[in-house]
Copies of this chain bind each other. A is one copy, B any other.
Amino acid sequence: MRLTPLLLACLFALPVAHAAEPPKHLSAKEILDASPDADWRTLDPASTLYMDVPGGRVVIELAPGFAPAHVANIRTLAREGFWNGLAIYRSQDNFVVQFGDADAEDTAKAKPLGMAKTKLPAEFARTGDGVSFTRLPDVDGWAPEVGFVDGFPVGRDPKTNEVWLAHCYGALGAGRGGPPDSSNGSELYVVTGQSPRQLDRNITLVGRVVKGMELLSTIPRGPEPMGFYENATERTPITAIHLASEVPESERTPLQVLRTDSKTFAAATEARRNRRDGWYVRPAGHIDLCNVPLPVREAKR
């Protein structure tokens, strides 16, 4: 038997059709297709960033509930056009892309932060008070408990009542130097590789990429080991970073994300934890926090 691309397309996703009887287990796709509108949430334009690069638009959801000071500063910087004309100056394979002001070290050239604060508190974790935590039953080596809060993957420690954002693929963080409180939100990174969860609670995460990851993940890598480009011409320019709320409505990218506290999300996650589509001979019985897809769709205008 020859394997073919079309046949191989079935490899990882498509359910096997049973003509005689209806499928007993719905696939994640079937569950999502049948989801009620109430299980979806429209992104708040005041907490949504558009990062426009030559290839298109990256849509980011900020997490003011986890990093209020950083998000406030990022909103200020976006309103001032701080990142417009700056660049992605680092791309390290299986780790991160990083962007901001590559000349920040040179006081003569550095772009001013304007009204943004130069000093912020570290926001590595927040209290669990008032937080709606949807726990995953799955074991995790990095945190006592893992799950989701408002669409973000998180760790939780019931002993300390702390909750924190997890470094999954697409996570957006604020670069820092030696002191824990040395980030101000002007230099940012996005995870483009295997989740570097060792960074959890060591650096402030401020949001996550909701759409357009392929524009960041395919950026040519800089030289090893850190991926900083040697020549400015190798950098990827940032056309602009705007808050969605500052962009005319006709130019917005209206998106909805699946509520992580919905029945649809729980059912789709279970369908991926134990895949019964006929292709898998051994359903895993497990899913890792950073393997759980966070579905997104276009909002009806």
Q: Which residues of A contact B (CB under 8 A)?
A: 1-13, 16, 89-90, 93-95, 98, 100, 102, 104-105, 110, 113, 118-119, 124, 138-142, 168-169, 175-180, 182-184, 186-187, 193-203, 213-214, 217-221, 225-226, 228, 272, 275, 278-284, 286-288, 290-291
Q: How far is the CA of A213 from the CA of B217 in the complex (A)?
A: 13
Select one of B168, B221, B283, B284 contacting A218, CB under 8 A.
B221
Select one of B139, B197, B278 contacting A284, CB under 8 A.
B197
Chain B nearest CB from A182 CB (Å) reads 6
B175 touches A3 (CB 8 A): yes
Chain B nearest CB from A89 CB (Å) reads 6
Given A118-B2, A169-B94, A226-B9 in contact, is the A198-B287 Cβ separation under 8 Å? yes
Chain B nearest CB from A279 CB (Å) reads 7
Q: How far is the CA of A125 from the CA of B186 in the complex (A)?
A: 48
Q: Is the interface of A mostly helix, strand, loop or mixed?
A: loop
A4 touches B93 (CB 8 A): no
Q: Which residues of B contact A93 (CB under 8 A)?
A: 213-214, 217
Taking CB as reference atom, which chain B residue is nearest A11? B175
B94 touches A176 (CB 8 A): no
Chain B nearest CB from A36 CB (Å) reads 22
Taking CB as reference atom, which chain B residue is nearest A179? B1
Q: How far is the CA of A219 from the CA of B168 in the complex (A)?
A: 21
Q: Which residues of B contact A281 (CB under 8 A)?
A: 124, 180, 201-202
Q: Which of A4, A8, A225 has the most CB of B within 10 A?
A: A8
B2 touches A110 (CB 8 A): yes
Q: How far is the CA of A279 from the CA of B102 in the complex (A)?
A: 21
Select one of B9, B180, B213, B228 contacting A94, CB under 8 A.
B213
Chain B nearest CB from A155 CB (Å) reads 11
B282 touches A182 (CB 8 A): no
Given A98-B8, A105-B6, A291-B194 in contact, is the A177-B213 Cβ separation under 8 Å? no
Taking CB as reference atom, which chain B residue is nearest A6? B105
Q: Which residues of B contact A178 (CB under 8 A)?
A: 7, 10, 16, 278-279
Select one of B89, B104, B217, B279 contacting A217, CB under 8 A.
B217
